[in-house]
Structures are given as C-alpha cells and as structure tokens.
Amino acid sequence: MIEKIDHIGIAVSNLEDAIKLYSEALGLKIKEIEIVEEQKARVAIIPVGESTIELLESTASDGPIAKHIEKRGEGIHHLALRVNNVGDALEILKEKGILLVDKEPRKGSRNTKMAFLHPKGPKALIELVEH
C-alpha cells in the first residue's frame, strides 16, 4: 500500500523568509510555488532526493495552516506517504479502525489526490498522496 515517503509539510508564517533559509543556507532549489485554493495555502516545493519538502504558508486566517501555527507554532505539519490509490488505501485503513480526517480523497498540490489520517492513531498528521 505505501510506496515511499512523498514529502514532509512544514508550516511557516512567511514563505519568502523560509524559502531564503532553505535555498541560501541549505543550498536547496525551489522547484515551484503553487497556491492550493482548497487548502487555503501557498506551497513551495523543494526536491530532496526522491522526496520533497513542502513549505506551507496560509493564504487565509481561517486556513488549516494558520490554525496549526496559532496552536502549535511553525514547524513540521505533516508527513506524506505515497500510495498508488488513495481511495483504496482509505477503505483498507477504515476497515482496520484507523480514524480518518478525510473520508474521500481531495485535490492536493501538484495535481495529486490526497487525504489525511487523524493524528490520534499514528501520533502524527499523516497524509496519503497519489500522483
């Protein structure tokens, strides 16, 4: 079911400042910046080997990233695991009693399908992502 770690999402208050740190200090290259309307987020995609880092800045004060930063501060928001079919993975996990944030896949960055597992089970916010 799980193919690999797809990306790590990091919540940031200021995307430009975070990009500067990751590009200038760490020497990483920004592949693209995208707005994901459904998530109320602006996302910088940074390839690192076979995975990526997603820097996530909220585009609205009521967005999930803004709420996360308000409660927990900036930092790791989620771990994304690549699967070949998000819908099938959700069904399997639901049958196993795993709490889900999303019952159905939704649109993610880079034209992916994605869904979140509730952090109460795995003790972290896990995103399943299908390319």
Closest CA to 39 of 127, 130, 131, 123: 127
Give residue-wise pLDDT tens across range 40-72: 999 999 999 999 999 999 999 999 999 999 999
pLDDT above 90 (res 121): no
Domain at 2-130, CATH class: alpha beta
Is the separation of the CB atoms in 19 and 29 below 8 Å? Answer: no
Global pTM? 0.94
Closest CA to 69 of 99, 46, 41: 41
Is the separation of the CB atoms in 56 and 65 below 8 Å? Answer: yes
Extents of the domains making up the chain: 2-130
Integer angstrom CA distances of residue 48 from 8, 28, 102: 10, 8, 27
